[in-house]
Structure 1
Amino acid sequence: MRQFEAPPSGKWTGPNHAGVKAPEPIVLADPATRFAATAKRLAKLADGHPMEAWLRFMAALAEAQHAVATTLAPASSLNTASVAQAVNARLPPLAADGHERDPSWREGLASLLDHIERSELPPAARDAIEQLRRSDAAALDKLADQFLRGGLSAADAAAAVYVAAALQVYFTCSAARLKADDLRLLEERSLCPCCGSPSVDGLITATGVTPGTRFLFCSLCSTAWNHVRAVCITCGGTRRLSLHGIEGDIGVIKAETCGDCHTYAKLIYQVQDTQVDPYADDLASLGLDILVTEAGYARHAPNPLLLVGDDEAVAS
C-alpha cells in the first residue's frame, strides 16, 4: 500500500506473519501524564540553555496545563455513532477546524490562567492575561477559531499562546475519551487521525514491541500515530531525503529534509536519551530549526506554541 492511500477496512495493514509484530497504529495520550512529562523535561533542558528563561516559562505553562488536565479536565464526549460516521468517511472525529467545542474549554482557559504565576512575567504577558480575563465567551471562541484555522493577527499573539495551551488540554482530554481501536489512520498520513492536526515532530522508538518505529505526535490532541520511516511526511517522496543535526550534538534530535518539496520534519531518537519528550525537545531545539531554515527548508508545520508565542512577550 502506497503512502497516503486509504486503508482498506482494517486499522492496520502491516506485516502479520509469524514472528513479526506490527506497531500499534494509533496511541492516545494519557492526560494525567502528558503535560507533567513535558514540564519535567523542559525544566531539565532549561539548565544552561541559551533560552533558559523562555524554556522555564514554557515549563511553567506545561505545569499549568497539567493542573487543568488532572482537575477540571475540560473535554467533549462524542457518541459512538458520531465517531463511526467520521471514521467511515475517513475524517478525524475531533476535527480541529470543524469540531463544536464544549464550553468547558473556556473554563479550562480560566483555570490555566489562575495557575500561571504572573509576578515574574513582563508587562506584555500580564496584559495578555488580563485581556483574556476581560473577554466574553464570544470573543474567546472567536480567538480559538482564528487560532485553529490559521487566522490569528499579530496583535493577538501574546494572548493566543494561552488559548493554544488551553486548547491542547481540551483536545487531549477529549481524545483520551475515545478508543484507539475505533479510529483509523487518515488518507493524508501526516495528519492526526483523531483531530486532523499536523504533528509537532516524530519519535524513533528504542523500546516497546517494535523498536525503531516512527511515531508522529499531534500538535493539538497529543495523539501518536505510526508513520513509515524514510518517507517525507509532506510530499511522500523517498529519493531526496537527508538527515541533519547540529555539529557536536549527540544526535538526540535531527531534521529530516526533503529535496523534492524543500520541507523538513524533526526526528527524535529515543535510543540517545530515553527521557526525551516530543513536545519539550522540540521547543528546546529551535537552534536546529534556524539552521535548517537558513539552508532553504520550510518546517512541515509549526509548533502551535511557537506559532503564536513571542519570547519577549512571555519570558523575561
Structure 2
Amino acid sequence: MKQAGAPPTGKWTGPSHAGVKAPDPILLADPTQRFAATAQRLEHLAEGHPMEAWLRFMAKLAWAQHAVVTTRAPSVALSSAIVAQATEARLPPLAADGHRRDASWREGLALLLDHIDSNGLPPAALDAIAQLRRSDAATLEKLADHFLRGGLAAPDAAAAVFVAAALQVYFTCSAARLNVEDLRLLEERGLCPCCGSPSVAGLITASGVTPGTRYLYCSLCSTAWNHVRAVCITCGGTRQLSLQGIEGDPGVVKAETCGECHTYAKRLYQAHDMQADPYADDLASLGLDLLVAEAGFARHAPNPLLLVSESEAVAE
C-alpha cells in the first residue's frame, strides 16, 4: 500500500497468503474503557512525578469523562448515507470542524462539571467551572467552535480545557457508534479517518496478531489507525527520521523527529510497558517535548488538554 495514497478500501491490500497477518487499518475505541484507562494510568504516573499535582488534576478530569460516558454517553448517530457519502469522497464522516454537533455534548459538559472532584483544585479551575455553568448554549457552542477551529482566545483557555474534555467524550461516543467496516483511511494518512483530527501519539504494539504495528491515536475521538512506521506522519518523508529519548528513561516514550519538515511526533513502546496509554503517557512526558523543542522541532499537533499547561491557569 503506497503511503499517503488512497487505498481502494480501508482493508489491507498486500499479501494475504498463509503466515502473513495484516493489521486492522482502523480501531474504534470503547468509550466505557478509554477514559478509565487513561485516569488509572495518570494516577500511576503521577506518583513522584515532578508535575504530580497537575497529573492528578488530569486524572480527575479523565474520571469525570468516564462518569459522563457511563451516565449519559452524549453522541450522535450518523446515517449510513452520510457515512457512505463522506468515505466515498475520502472525507471523515465526523469532521471536527464541519460536523453539526448534537446538543447532547453540552449536557455532557454539564455532567462533567458536576462529576469532577473539586477538592484541591486551584482558583483558576474553579473560576472556569463557574464561568461555564453560567454560560448559555450560544456561548458554549462558540467556545467549542473556536477550540475545534484553532481560534481560541487566551482568556478562554482555562474554560476550554473542560470544553475540550467534553468534546472528547462526545466525539469518542459518536465514533464508537460507527461501523468500522464502513470507514476508510484518509489520503492524508496522518489524520483520523473518523473526525479528521491529528493524533496525540502513536503506539507500537507488542501483542496481537501483528506486534510491531504503529497505531496513531486520535486526539479527539480516540480512534486508532494504522500508519507505516518508517514514514513521517507530518510530511511523509523517510530520509531524515530519528528517534530521540531522555537519557536514563525506561524508553516507553520517544520522539520521532523529521529533519525534512522539522516536526516530531511521540511514539509509545508497548514492549517496555504493556500499560502504556497514548493519552496519559503523552501528558506525563512533557519533559521530552521541551527537550525536542529546544532542538528546533515543532510538535506534529498539540494535545487538546495542554491548552493551559504553560500558563498554569488550571494546575500547579
Q: TM-score range by the shorter chain?
A: over 0.9
Distance 1:63 1:162 in 2: 13
Secondary structure of 2:210 counterpart? coil
Deviation at 1:67, TM superposition (A): 0.3
Alignment partner, residue 141 of structure 2? 141
Alignment partner, residue 297 of structure 2? 297
Alignment partner, residue 266 of structure 2? 266
Secondary structure of 1:155 counterpart? helix
Q: Contact (CA 8 Å) 1:234, 1:263: kept in 2 or not? A: yes
Deviations 1:91-140 (A, max 9, x none): 00000000000000000000000011224111111111111001000000
Alignment partner, residue 115 of structure 2? 115
Matching of residues 149-228 of structure 1 within 5 Å: 149-228=149-228
Q: Note closer, same or farther for the CA distance 1:10–1:289 as it changes in structure 2 (3 Å cut).
A: closer
Deviation at 1:309, TM superposition (A): 4.7
Q: Contact (CA 8 Å) 2:39, 2:59: kept in 1 or not? A: yes
Q: Contact (CA 8 Å) 1:11, 1:183: kept in 2 or not? A: no
Distance 2:10 2:96 in 1: 24
Code of the residue aligned with 1:142 in structure 2: it is: K
Code of the residue aligned with 1:238 in structure 2: it is: T
Matching of residues 300-315 of structure 1 within 5 Å: 300-309=300-309, 312-315=312-315
Alignment partner, residue 100 of structure 1? 100
Distance 1:291 1:165 in 2: 27
How many pairs are equivalent?
A: 316
Deviation at 1:17, TM superposition (A): 2.1
Distance 1:245 1:144 in 2: 35
Alignment partner, residue 126 of structure 2? 126
Say if 2:59 is the partner of 1:35.
no
Q: Contact (CA 8 Å) 1:36, 1:63: kept in 2 or not? A: yes
Deviation at 1:19, TM superposition (A): 1.2
Deviation at 1:307, TM superposition (A): 3.0
Deviation at 1:173, TM superposition (A): 0.2
Q: Contact (CA 8 Å) 2:38, 2:277: kept in 1 or not? A: yes
Code of the residue aligned with 1:213 in structure 2: it is: T
TM-score under structure 2 length normalisation: 0.98
Q: Note closer, same or farther for the CA distance 1:78–1:308 as it changes in structure 2 (3 Å cut).
A: farther
The root-mean-square deviation of aligned C-alpha atoms, in Å, is 1.0
Secondary structure of 1:201 counterpart? strand
Distance 2:90 2:6 in 1: 8
Code of the residue aligned with 1:5 in structure 2: it is: G
Secondary structure of 1:264 counterpart? strand
Distance 2:278 2:10 in 1: 28
Distance 2:103 2:39 in 1: 26
Q: Note closer, same or farther for the CA distance 1:14–1:307 as it changes in structure 2 (3 Å cut).
A: farther
Q: Note closer, same or farther for the CA distance 1:105–1:26 as it changes in structure 2 (3 Å cut).
A: same
Distance 1:161 1:309 in 2: 10
Q: Note closer, same or farther for the CA distance 1:46–1:9 as it changes in structure 2 (3 Å cut).
A: closer
Code of the residue aligned with 1:275 in structure 2: it is: Q
Alignment partner, residue 44 of structure 1? 44
Alignment partner, residue 88 of structure 1? 88
Distance 2:169 2:311 in 1: 21
Q: Note closer, same or farther for the CA distance 1:98–1:266 as it changes in structure 2 (3 Å cut).
A: same
Distance 2:60 2:48 in 1: 17
Alignment partner, residue 74 of structure 1? 74
Distance 2:102 2:210 in 1: 37
Aligned identity (percent) is 79
Alignment partner, residue 256 of structure 2? 256
